Amino acid sequence: MKVAYFTNQYPKVSHSFIRREILALEQLGYEIERFALRSDAAELVDRLDQDEFTKTAYILSEPKVALIFSGLTVFLRQPVKFIKTLLLVVKMGFRSDRGVLKHIAYLLEACVLLKWQKQKQIQHIHAHFGTNSTAVVMFAYLLGGAGYSFTVHGPEEFDKPEFIALSEKIKHSRFVVAISSFGRSQLFRWIPAEQWPKVKIVRCGLGADFLGVNEERVPNTSHQLICVGRLCEQKGQLLLLESMRTLKQEGIECQLVLAGDGPMRPEVERRITEYELQDRVKITGWISSEQVKSLLIESRGLVLPSFAEGLPVVIMEALALSRPVISTYIAGIPELVINGKNGWLVSAGDSDALTKAMRDLLSTEEAMLLSMGRGGYEAVNTQHNIDTEAAILARHFAEALSE
């Protein structure tokens, strides 16, 4: 079966789960073409991402005149389909927060994608994220391209489903993937009940580099905690710094590594200085997957006090390495993090509860850390093994094509 993947940006530092999925499907014998709007080779620090960059075709690498010419070609060859699709494009643009002109750009990008699909004889195309990447894939389908499916991660799709025409994208798809039961329930809200069977659960997965047998799956009794993620409002790093200040005032030893970068870095750095945490908090900037793994191994546990999420892959990575996780009762996180068994769950935005959980983790005995580590590994190996999840997705591809 000839399948293509399409994303807004690929490869990307924070999207290793897409790379794992593609490589696992190829291990199953699928021939996968990689298409994307763009990528930034300069930000790729992981060797596997650099390899994927060379395998990917980028629409926005085409000259603008080529996009316009592709659109004109499709219009001349099939004017009725083009006009019908254009009407939908305009309708979606008026309702969205990105506007009509941006959606017309998506239509031109879809014309290029349509040409590439036909050249490569693609039978099915799968997109990740239900935003503009799926819009491009849907427009290409309506212009005569391959049938499609897409994976919804959240939280963006759940925050503005009407603005991104989520129900329209599901209606035209062969099927849609949710990464958790919570995600599936949110999709059910926006489609008729007769379309519910279209919604499948395929969880993001880890491979043997995390789930294989190794000596690193032992507890760490250091006083270092790690938070991995983009420095932005929804990840809750400012709340985490408040807890770090409280722990310092209580005389509790704790070091925190903020692994990542993002728009809130100046504000985070200002708070670190204001709270006099320069000797306790370190920001790494963007680092490779291997560096993240090493830091997880060197830390006692992961802290992710997010306000909005889908289901963060770094939680799976931490648990697979026997590191307890402190996170929040939101989205799909409680489906993996079980309070008291492999981590702590707190109410989002509750600084006192977050501080208590951090205090508890820092004082937990080694035997309990070992037990929680085993529970975390078992949960990830059962629910998030990439070989198992890729096989489930492959079955959905085959069923969709047979229908």
Element (H, E) at 209: helix 208-211
Q: Are 41 and 69 in contact, with CB atoms under 8 Å apart? A: no
pLDDT value, residue 222: 97
The mean pLDDT of 110-139, rounded to a whole number, is 98
What are the CA-CA distances from residue 172 to residues 66, 74, 138, 149, 195 (Å)? Answer: 27, 20, 7, 9, 11
pLDDT value, residue 117: 97
The CA distance from 27 to 330, in Å, is 34
Q: pLDDT-derived band of residue 84, with 50, 70 and 90 as boundaries?
A: very high
* pLDDT of 287 strictly over 90: no
Give the Cβ contact number of residue 95 at 10 Å.
14
Q: Are 153 and 129 in contact, with CB atoms under 8 Å apart? A: yes
Q: pLDDT-derived band of residue 269, with 50, 70 and 90 as boundaries?
A: very high
* pLDDT of 216 strictly over 80: no
Q: How many CA atoms lie within 13 A of 103 on its CB side?
A: 23
Place of tokens 């799926």: 134
What CATH number is given for 208-383 in this structure?
3.40.50.2000
Q: Residue 2 pairs with which residues in a beta bridge?
A: 31
The CA distance from 74 to 224, in Å, is 57
The CA distance from 227 to 225, in Å, is 7
Percentage of the chain beyond pLDDT 70 is 99
Q: pLDDT-derived band of residue 44, with 50, 70 and 90 as boundaries?
A: confident
The CA distance from 128 to 388, in Å, is 19
pLDDT value, residue 213: 66
Q: pLDDT-derived band of residue 45, with 50, 70 and 90 as boundaries?
A: confident
CATH number for 2-205+385-402 (one of 3.40.50.2000, 3.40.50.720, 3.40.1190.20, 3.40.1380.10): it is 3.40.50.2000
Contacting residues for 279 by C-beta, under 8 A, at least 6 apart: none
Which of helix, strand or coil describes residue 344? strand
Closest CA to 403 of 249, 174, 205, 128: 174
* pLDDT of 212 strictly over 90: no
DSSP designation for 261: -
Q: What is the DSSP string of 129-194?
A: STTHHHHHHHHHHHTT--EEEEEE--SHHHH-TTTTTHHHHHHHSSEEEESSHHHHHHHHTTS-GG
Q: Residue 302 pairs with which residues in a beta bridge?
A: 226, 325
Q: pLDDT-derived band of residue 47, with 50, 70 and 90 as boundaries?
A: confident
The CA distance from 72 to 82, in Å, is 10
Q: Are 57 and 29 in contact, with CB atoms under 8 Å apart? A: no
Tell me the pLDDT of the chain averaged across its residues.
96
In this structure, the chain runs to a length of: 403
Within its chain, how far is the Cα of 69 from the centroid?
33
Give pTM, 2 decimals.
0.94
* pLDDT of 264 strictly over 90: yes
Percentage of the chain beyond pLDDT 90 is 92
Closest CA to 143 of 68, 71, 61, 37: 71
* pLDDT of 215 strictly over 60: no
**Range(s) of the chain covered by CATH 3.40.50.2000:** 2-205+385-402, 208-383
Closest CA to 89 of 71, 73, 77: 71
* pLDDT of 36 strictly over 80: yes
* Token pair listed for 67: 């996009």
**Buried-state track 333-356, b at ≥16 Cβ within 10 A, e below 16:** bbbbbbeeebbbbbebeebebbbb
Task: In the chain, count H helices and then E strands.
Answer: 17, 13
